[in-house]
């Protein structure tokens, strides 16, 4: 591989990683603070994508679609938290896995009832269409750069929010020790509801942003679910920083794995996760379980 | 494992008898369907050994199931083996080896990380078969000749025949159930059950828990392989999808639906699940919506699964036939330690423990003589509990040495330290709440067997172990309460039980972390008397805040402040120490 | 009609299931298998009605129903019943599901599935049981090669069949160095394998075969790799969501402007609305094209649109032809489902005008069909010509071939 290609592959890996980060950040927060393994997390990704498709068809504007879909996703997260997840806080992981698995089935069927079985595409907004020429044979789509920029922005905003707001303080306290939150006299119910719906919305945003480059199709949530769990576990449950590093690692490992060891590429990310866990049984930045 | 209520046992017997007649009265389809259910039941039971009895939630169990099928397929195609006598053992060995390798790596993690690492390994195996050329890839491949059981030229059974396969699956199911039933009552089974209830306690009692987890993981893997073998025989077809995470999730669902932690639960789960899928998939095109709703409802309404429902229906009134067995209320010494011996029995040299920036214990060097009662005191945050946790192995020191009878044990695991003869009690009582007082002590006593890797004889028949447990209980005055569940005991009795458990492990050195914490005046007096009695033949190191108690019982005193030892020596001498009075006792006197 | 049929068949099944349950719980009740009404012909459909492939399952089913309705809703003069079972496109459940239809429902004919893994299990059991089976989509070569059987027919295609001609065609167009790309699964490997065979036989060379983990849809890394390899063209096989994503990524990454994209027809079939402009100019080969100007095709597409409100596609054609085959065979034997030999011969000899062209079978029961070269023009797969006429799968390893 020449330098130009390596540079572009690096860009590919980082961009993929950044999108994964958006999904994994919500997952790790829910994991770390609520203590809930949410298998239905991928469903929010799918719903985000479908909302982006549906609303941009209706309104004719991708930006408007996102503006409308975002509050809808927050609300959906809140409803799911109140109606199902809130019953799981005291329960064993096993039941959380099971209940949220049931939610996947329900969301998938609802999606089919509302939006049907077809694969849909969402057009890239005109101003973001086009490519940047990097070398004479290689170019890079502008929209992907845009996604990366948005993801970085969200990551920065999360960093600021977590380190300098009151709710951020609660989240930090909560992810290092859940008892701590109770001790500090925080309204746990409210904190949990907020964290869950923000986490769900982050994932939905990832789905919306990915809609124009991805196709929108039934069952798309499951494809990202396992991989985002891998990211969270590598980074350490509850750690946003870990999720960030983990997504970069997975993005790069997957990208370079495919090009350099194609015959093993399906296993690369799993092997990476196993290796990290053998080295650090609680992930890179995880609090020891 | 609690015994089965009679009504349920009878129902199960009738069901088995009924099932034995299905090939005689049922159609071909029913024979097939029920065979399928039997196989799923064996698979689910194997997972339940991990999930319900060992406390290890595996999300990659289908890998072994699939591997069982693939082993058979490869042995048949590439090695031309059609004899069940060759393929079955070979398959089980393959599954055993692979589960040993995966288990050995996976048990280093716990909780969610364990769930995820098992998933990771399963996905790797899945992709291996999915991508590899030669094994049919995602299309799967066939077993064209089904296994036969033959002696010489006489074919005893051929699994080609549906009824034969049916009975074979039924027999395998019953044997698996019987095997697991025996296993769970064996010393090994007692340890894994204990491990699930309270891992830290089990390790502190001296069990090398990782080894037990690993063996349990292997047994579960082998049984899953057995189920996979049968499934491959039934349809003559294997596919990587059999090892995917969906299959792992499906069998997990069967276990929880049926009721984890029981043997008959997963079997019921298999029946209900398969029949339900069969039924719902026909009702509407959107049947997965119903399935999802059902799953959610089970979690919310049936937390203990169908088995839990049945058990509560059966009343569970008769709390088993066993009443408190009477034992002579003698008070023999559990373990008489000759006073003196090696001196000091325990010594720390420049012991350091650092937590990210904070030095909790800073170059602590103390000697503890044998046969004495040593108290470690100091204000909150002085590093006392950290010190004791290093002595018992819960925490590894970041520097320095711990010498027990001259041997450096710094950084040893808690179980190894316990087996050396150092027992400990915890600040917050640390018991097996669901087990009786006697069972708590029996597990403790069992830790002194050379190994509890005994799989067949019931633990209850280990006479010497039971005797030791009874003696320890009697010594702590808990003889009359030996059949009560630990969770039903009063706070003081629970503390006594904890001491009894440690005594049952026959330690020479006894570490106690605030034995009087949270006790009322009367309870404190009783515990103190007990400790005094224990001190007659044990060396004690205790952390305590209650100064009156400390002065009443201790021979020596070690005072810690901010991670340092500021004084150590005979009680009177330390009490007189000016620095100690200033730093610690002085404040206390002033406060009174 | 669908719901009515479903209710009837379901009730039977429900009763059987209940009997099985009872028989196990209390053995005193003798299990009486629900005897299927002999008056009705049972046709079992094992197709995906949920999940990623649900759209395919529905089109196949609805086109079959259309074909049967056109024939007066009779098979050889008898009433019939379609027993639909959701395959979930899950090979892990395939054997049990096939068994449920053949042994449990005692269907006279079996049809389906979409997924090759499911087809492999289905073919195995169908062969053992002798049930007349018509594979209506899955293209696994083995179905009409090693696993072929007198009672197994296919109305779709073999993976080899649709890709081999593209190899010849691309060589004919003067392309020398080609990269092929697909998912790392059996169908993908068969597709690019057949392409390679055709292309190299005609003098081209495949410089690299890229296999992407299934069902991963993150293609960027491989597109960069392709750009670096600078081949004359790319041959790709993806289907459904993967096809949409690949074609869009291919265009958006700028590779398409430099390296033309060719593929198996599924790359642009049923996916064009989602792919939009990104698909323009992509060449594919398939045994069908929506825009085929054949009278039978125009008639069929019109009727399908009227019946369902949706546009027909290649899957619908395959379902429709399955119905044609059933109707013709049952007519020959006057509804006698027991006359297996005659039924098989009738199917082998069936000749009719399929929407895809003239219908006839090869010895291994795979259709002999023209493979069309199509180009995406204005959001439509326009037929540019015939890549190869009357392509017949070699049927290697099939005793009947």
Percent of chain C exceeding pLDDT 90 equals: 78
Please report the pLDDT score of residue B585 as a whole number: 56
pLDDT at residue A170 is higher than 80: no
Residue numbers in C near B131 (CB within 8 A): 184, 211, 213
Please report the pLDDT score of residue A75 as a whole number: 96
For chain B, say whether C187 makes contact (Cβ under 8 Å): yes
Q: Which range has highest mean pLDDT (B21-35, B99-113, B218-232, B489-503)?
A: B218-232
Residue numbers in A near C218 (CB within 8 A): 16, 254
pLDDT tens digits, one per residue of B382-391:
888 899 999 9
Q: Which CATH number among 3.30.930.10, 3.40.50.300, 3.40.50.150, 3.10.450.200 corresponds to the domain B337-421+510-592? A: 3.40.50.300
Q: Cβ distance C300 to C55 under 8 Å?
A: no
Strand order across the beta sheet in which C177-183 lies: C205-212, C177-183, C233-237, C261-264, C283-286, C369-377, C380-391
The C-alpha atoms of residue C304 and residue C315 are separated, in whole angstroms, by: 12
Please report the pLDDT score of residue B343 as a whole number: 76
The C-alpha atoms of residue C191 and residue B475 are separated, in whole angstroms, by: 78
pLDDT tens digits, one per residue of B206-223:
999 999 999 999 999 999
pLDDT at residue B29 is higher than 80: yes
- Cβ contact (<8 Å) for C228 and A137? yes
- Cβ contact (<8 Å) for C27 and B18? yes
Q: Cβ distance A276 to A283 under 8 Å?
A: yes
Please report the pLDDT score of residue B151 as a whole number: 75
With cut-offs at 50, 70 and 90, classify the pLDDT of residue B44. very high
Which residue in chain A has the smallest CA separation from B112? A93
For chain A, say whether B105 makes contact (Cβ under 8 Å): yes
Give chain B's mean pLDDT.
Answer: 87
Average pLDDT over residues B579-591: 59
Which carries the bigger pLDDT value, residue B568 or residue B324?
Answer: B568
The lowest-confidence range among A116-130, A193-207, B37-51, B249-263 is: A116-130
Nearest in space to B551 (alpha carbons), one of B562, B542, B538, B560: B542
Dihedral sign computed on CA atoms, order C262, C266, C269, C273: negative
The C-alpha atoms of residue C19 and residue C35 are separated, in whole angstroms, by: 13
All domains of chain C in start order, with CATH? 36-157+294-367 (3.40.50.2300), 160-286+371-391 (3.40.50.2300)
Percent of chain B exceeding pLDDT 90 equals: 50
Helices (H), C309-378: 314-332, 340-349
How many C-beta atoms lie closer than 10 Å to residue B96's C-beta?
Answer: 17
Please report the pLDDT score of residue B61 as a whole number: 97
- CA distance from start to end of chain C: 40
Please report the pLDDT score of residue A118 as a whole number: 83
Please report the pLDDT score of residue B188 as a whole number: 94
Please report the pLDDT score of residue A289 as a whole number: 45
Residue numbers in C near B288 (CB within 8 A): 50
Average pLDDT over residues B312-337: 46
What tokens appear for B24 in the block? Answer: 């005689």
pLDDT at residue A64 is higher than 90: yes
Please report the pLDDT score of residue C23 as a whole number: 40
The lowest-confidence range among B311-320, B349-358, C109-118, C353-362 is: B311-320
Residues of chain C with pLDDT under 50: 1-37
- What is the value of ipTM here, to two decimals? 0.88
pLDDT at residue B526 is higher than 50: yes
Please report the pLDDT score of residue A1 as a whole number: 67
Nearest in space to B302 (alpha carbons), one of B263, B250, B268, B257: B257
pLDDT at residue A152 is higher than 60: yes
Please report the pLDDT score of residue C20 as a whole number: 43
How many C-beta atoms lie closer than 10 Å to residue A185's C-beta?
Answer: 7
The C-alpha atoms of residue B323 and residue B269 are separated, in whole angstroms, by: 33
The lowest-confidence range among B176-185, B578-587, C280-289, C313-322 is: B578-587
User: CB pairs below 8 Å between B and C: how many?
Assistant: 145
Average pLDDT over residues B324-331: 38
Average pLDDT over residues B334-358: 71
Nearest chain A Cα distance for residue B288, angstroms: 6
Average pLDDT over residues B7-27: 88
Which carries the bigger pLDDT value, residue B340 or residue A36?
Answer: A36
Q: Which residues of B234-256 are buried (b: 16+ CB within 10 A; e: fewer)?
A: bbbbbbbbbbbbbbbbbbbbbbb
Nearest chain B Cα distance for residue A106, angstroms: 5
Q: Which of B33, B131, B281 sits opposite C86 (nearest CB)?
A: B281
Residue numbers in B near C52 (CB within 8 A): none
The C-alpha atoms of residue C335 and residue B198 are separated, in whole angstroms, by: 69
For chain A, say whether B120 makes contact (Cβ under 8 Å): yes
With cut-offs at 50, 70 and 90, classify the pLDDT of residue A31. confident
3-state secondary structure of B328: coil
Which carries the bigger pLDDT value, residue B207 or residue B134?
Answer: B207
Q: Cβ distance C136 to C319 under 8 Å?
A: yes
Please report the pLDDT score of residue B591 as a whole number: 39
pLDDT tens digits, one per residue of C109-130:
999 899 999 999 999 999 989 9
Q: Which of C96, C101, C149, C215 to mutate to test the interface with B (most CBs of B within 10 A)?
A: C96
Question: What proportions of chain B, in percent to the nearest 5, are helix, strand and coil?
Answer: 60, 15, 30
Nearest in space to A28 (alpha carbons), one of A208, A248, A269, A244: A244
Q: Which of A50, A52, A105, A213 to mutate to test the interface with C (most CBs of C within 10 A)?
A: A213
Q: Cβ distance C291 to C31 under 8 Å?
A: no
pLDDT at residue B306 is higher than 80: yes
Chain B residues 253-312 with CB within 8 Å of chain C:
271, 275, 278-279, 281-283, 285-288
pLDDT at residue B276 is higher than 60: yes
Q: Where are the beta strands (DSSP E) in C246-328?
A: 261-264, 283-286
Please report the pLDDT score of residue B584 as a whole number: 63
Which carries the bigger pLDDT value, residue B517 or residue B104?
Answer: B104
The C-alpha atoms of residue A29 and residue A81 are separated, in whole angstroms, by: 14
The C-alpha atoms of residue B278 and residue B285 are separated, in whole angstroms, by: 13
For chain C, say whether A144 makes contact (Cβ under 8 Å): yes
pLDDT at residue A71 is higher than 80: yes
Please report the pLDDT score of residue C309 as a whole number: 93
Beta strand B358-368 with B346-355 is: antiparallel
pLDDT tens digits, one per residue of A98-120:
899 899 999 999 998 999 888 88
Burial class (CB in 10 A: 0-12, 13-18, 19+), B284: middle
What tokens appear for B578 in the block? Answer: 């000016």
Residue numbers in B near C121 (CB within 8 A): 140, 235, 237, 239
Residue C48's φ and ψ, nearest 5 degrees, are -75, 115
pLDDT at residue B579 is higher than 90: no
- Cβ contact (<8 Å) for A99 and B123? no
Domain residue ranges of chain B, discontinuous segments joined by +? 22-243, 337-421+510-592, 431-506
Question: If you count DSSP H runs as helices and E runs as strands, how many of each does chain B have, helices first?
Answer: 24, 14
pLDDT tens digits, one per residue of B426-482:
888 889 988 899 999 999 999 888 888 888 888 888 888 999 999 999 999 998 998
Please report the pLDDT score of residue B303 as a whole number: 81
Nearest chain C Cα distance for residue B87, angstroms: 22
Average pLDDT over residues A255-264: 89
DSSP secondary-structure letter at A12? Answer: H
Nearest in space to B51 (alpha carbons), one of B123, B118, B98, B102: B118
Q: Which of B286, B291, B296 sits opposite A84 (nearest CB)?
A: B296
Cβ within 8 Å of residue B73, ≥6 positions away:
B141, B142, B143, B232, B238
Average pLDDT over residues A189-211: 91
Subunits with at least 3 CB pairs below 8 A relative to chain B? A, C
- Cβ contact (<8 Å) for B27 and C33? yes
Instruction: Tell me, rounded to whole angstroms, the distance of Cα B503 from its chain centroid.
Output: 21
Chain A residues 3-32 with CB within 8 Å of chain C:
5, 8-9, 12-13, 15-16
Q: Cβ distance C205 to C174 under 8 Å?
A: no
The lowest-confidence range among A58-62, B488-492, B548-552, B580-584 is: B580-584
């Amino acid at each position: 591989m020449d330098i130009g290609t390596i540079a572009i592959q690096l860009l590919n890996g980082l961009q993929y990683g950044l999108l994964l980060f958006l999904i994994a950040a919500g997952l790790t927060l829910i994991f770390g603070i609520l203590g809930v393994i949410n298998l239905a997390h991928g469903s929010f990704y799918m719903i985000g994508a479908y909302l982006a498709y549906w609303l941009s068809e209706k309104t004719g504007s991708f930006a408007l679609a996102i503006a409308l879909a975002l509050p809808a996703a927050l609300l959906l997260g809140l409803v799911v938290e109140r109606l199902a997840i809130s019953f799981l806080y005291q329960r064993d992981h096993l039941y959380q896995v099971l209940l949220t698995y049931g939610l996947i089935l329900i969301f998938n069927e609802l999606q089919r009832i509302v939006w049907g079985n077809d694969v849909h595409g969402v057009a890239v907004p005109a101003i973001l269409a086009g490519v940047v020429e990097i070398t004479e044979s290689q170019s890079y789509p502008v929209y992907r750069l845009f996604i990366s920029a948005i993801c970085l922005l969200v990551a920065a905003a999360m960093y600021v929010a977590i380190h300098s707001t009151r709710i951020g303080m609660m989240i930090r306290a909560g992810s290092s020790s859940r008892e701590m939150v109770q001790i500090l006299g925080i309204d746990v119910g409210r904190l949990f509801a907020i964290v869950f719906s923000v986490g769900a919305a982050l994932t939905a945003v990832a789905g919306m942003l990915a809609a124009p480059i991805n196709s929108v199709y039934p069952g798309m949530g499951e494809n990202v679910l396992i991989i985002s769990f891998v990211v969270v576990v590598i980074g350490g449950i509850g750690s946003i920083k870990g999720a960030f590093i983990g997504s970069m690692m997975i993005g790069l490992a997957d990208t370079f794995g495919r090009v350099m060891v194609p015959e093993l590429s399906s296993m690369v990310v799993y092997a990476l996760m196993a290796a990290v866990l053998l080295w650090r049984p609680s992930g890179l930045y995880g609090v020891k379980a | 494992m609690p015994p089965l209520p009679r009504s349920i046992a009878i129902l199960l017997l009738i069901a088995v008898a009924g099932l034995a007649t299905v090939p005689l009265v049922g159609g071909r389809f029913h024979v097939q369907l029920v065979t399928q259910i039997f196989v799923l039941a064996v698979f689910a039971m194997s997972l339940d050994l991990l999930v319900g009895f060992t406390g290890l939630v595996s999300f990659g169990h289908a890998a072994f199931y699939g591997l069982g099928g693939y082993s058979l397929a490869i042995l048949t195609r590439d090695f031309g083996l059609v004899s069940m006598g060759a393929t079955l053992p070979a398959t089980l060995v393959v599954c055993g080896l692979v589960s040993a390798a995966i288990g050995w790596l996976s048990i280093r993690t716990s909780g969610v990380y364990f769930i995820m690492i098992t998933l990771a390994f399963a996905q790797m195996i899945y992709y291996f078969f999915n991508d590899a050329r030669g094994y049919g890839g995602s299309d799967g491949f066939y077993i064209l000749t089904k296994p036969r059981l033959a002696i010489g030229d006489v074919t005893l059974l051929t699994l080609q025949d549906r009824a034969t396969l049916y009975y074979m699956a039924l027999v395998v199911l019953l044997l698996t159930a019987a095997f697991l039933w025996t296993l769970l009552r064996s010393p090994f089974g007692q340890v894994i059950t204990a491990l699930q209830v309270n891992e830290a306690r089990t390790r502190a009692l001296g069990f090398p828990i990782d080894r037990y987890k690993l063996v349990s993981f292997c047994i579960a893997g082998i049984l899953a392989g057995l189920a996979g073998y049968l499934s491959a025989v039934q349809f003559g077809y294997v596919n990587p999808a059999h090892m995917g995470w969906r299959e792992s999730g499906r069998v997990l669902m069967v276990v929880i639906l049926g009721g984890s932690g029981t043997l008959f639960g997963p079997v019921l789960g298999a029946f209900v699940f398969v029949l339900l899928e069969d039924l719902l998939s026909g009702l509407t095109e959107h049947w997965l919506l119903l399935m999802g709703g059902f799953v959610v409802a089970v979690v919310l309404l049936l937390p203990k699964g169908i088995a839990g429902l049945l058990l509560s229906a059966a009343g569970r009134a008769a709390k088993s036939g066993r009443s408190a067995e009477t034992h002579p209320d003698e008070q023999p010494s559990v373990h008489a330690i000759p006073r003196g011996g090696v001196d000091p029995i325990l010594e720390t040299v420049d012991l350091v423990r650092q937590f990210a920036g904070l030095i909790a214990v800073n170059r602590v060097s103390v000697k503890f003589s044998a046969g004495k009662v040593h108290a470690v005191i100091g204000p909150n945050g002085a590093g006392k509990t950290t010190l004791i946790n290093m002595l018992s192995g819960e925490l590894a020191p970041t520097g320095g040495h711990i010498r027990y009878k001259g041997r450096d044990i710094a950084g040893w695991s808690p179980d190894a330290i316990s087996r050396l003869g150092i027992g400990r009690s915890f600040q917050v009582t640390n018991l097996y709440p669901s087990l009786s007082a006697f069972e708590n002590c029996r597990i403790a006593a069992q830790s002194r067997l050379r190994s509890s890797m005994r799989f067949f004889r019931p633990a209850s028949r280990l006479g010497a172990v039971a005797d030791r447990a009874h003696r320890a209980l009697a010594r702590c005055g808990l003889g009359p309460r030996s059949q009560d569940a630990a969770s039903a005991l009063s706070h003081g009795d629970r503390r006594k039980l904890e001491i009894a458990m440690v005594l049952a492990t026959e330690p020479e050195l006894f570490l106690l972390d605030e034995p009087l914490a949270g006790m009322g005046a009367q309870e404190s007096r009783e515990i103190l008397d007990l400790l005094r009695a224990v001190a007659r033949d044990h060396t004690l190191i205790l952390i305590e805040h209650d100064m009156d108690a400390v002065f009443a019982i201790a021979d020596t005193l070690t005072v810690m402040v901010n991670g340092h030892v500021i004084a150590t020596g005979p009680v009177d001498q330390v009490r007189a120490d000016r620095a100690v009075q200033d730093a610690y006792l002085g404040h206390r006197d002033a406060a009174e | 009609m669908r719901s009515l049929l479903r209710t009837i068949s379901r009730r039977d099944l429900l009763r059987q299931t209940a009997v099985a349950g009872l028989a196990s719980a209390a053995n005193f009740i003798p299990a009486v298998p629900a005897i299927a009404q002999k008056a009705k012909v049972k046709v079992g459909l094992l197709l995906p009605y949920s999940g990623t492939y649900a759209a395919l399952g529905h089109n196949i089913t609805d086109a079959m129903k259309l074909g049967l309705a056109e024939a007066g809703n009779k098979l050889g003069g008898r009433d019939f019943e379609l027993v639909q079972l959701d395959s979930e496109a899950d090979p892990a459940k395939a054997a049990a599901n096939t068994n449920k239809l053949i042994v449990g429902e005692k269907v006279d004919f079996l049809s389906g599935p979409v997924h090759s893994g499911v087809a492999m299990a289905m073919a195995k059991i169908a062969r053992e049981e002798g049930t007349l089976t018509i594979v209506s989509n899955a293209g696994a070569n083995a179905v009409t090669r090693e696993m072929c059987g007198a009672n197994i027919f296919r109305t779709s295609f073999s993976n080899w069949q649709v890709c081999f001609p593209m190899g010849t065609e691309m060589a004919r167009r003067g392309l020398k160095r080609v990269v092929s790309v697909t998912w790392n699964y059996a169908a993908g490997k068969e597709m690019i394998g057949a392409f390679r065979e055709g292309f190299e036989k005609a003098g081209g060379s495949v410089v690299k075969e890229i296999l992407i983990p299934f069902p991963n849809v993150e293609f960027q890394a491989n597109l960069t790799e392709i750009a670096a390899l600078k081949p004359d063209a790319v041959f790709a096989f993806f289907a459904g969501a993967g096809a949409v994503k690949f074609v869009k990524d291919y265009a958006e990454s700028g590779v398409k402007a430099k390296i033309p994209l060719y593929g198996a027809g599924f790359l642009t079939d049923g996916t064009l609305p989602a792919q939009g402009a990104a698909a323009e100019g992509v060449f594919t080969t398939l045994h069908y094209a929506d825009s085929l100007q054949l009278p039978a095709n125009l008639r069929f597409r019109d009727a399908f649109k009227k019946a369902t409100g949706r546009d027909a596609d290649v899957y619908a054609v395959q379902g429709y032809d399955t119905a044609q085959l059933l109707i013709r065979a049952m007519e020959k034997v006057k509804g006698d489902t027991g006359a297996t030999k005659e039924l098989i011969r009738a199917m082998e000899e069936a000749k009719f005008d399929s929407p895809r062209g003239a219908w006839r079978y090869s010895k291994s029961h795979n259709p002999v069909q023209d493979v069309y070269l199509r180009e995406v023009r204005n959001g439509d797969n326009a037929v540019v010509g015939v890549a190869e006429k009357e392509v017949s799968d070699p049927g290697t390893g099939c005793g009947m071939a």
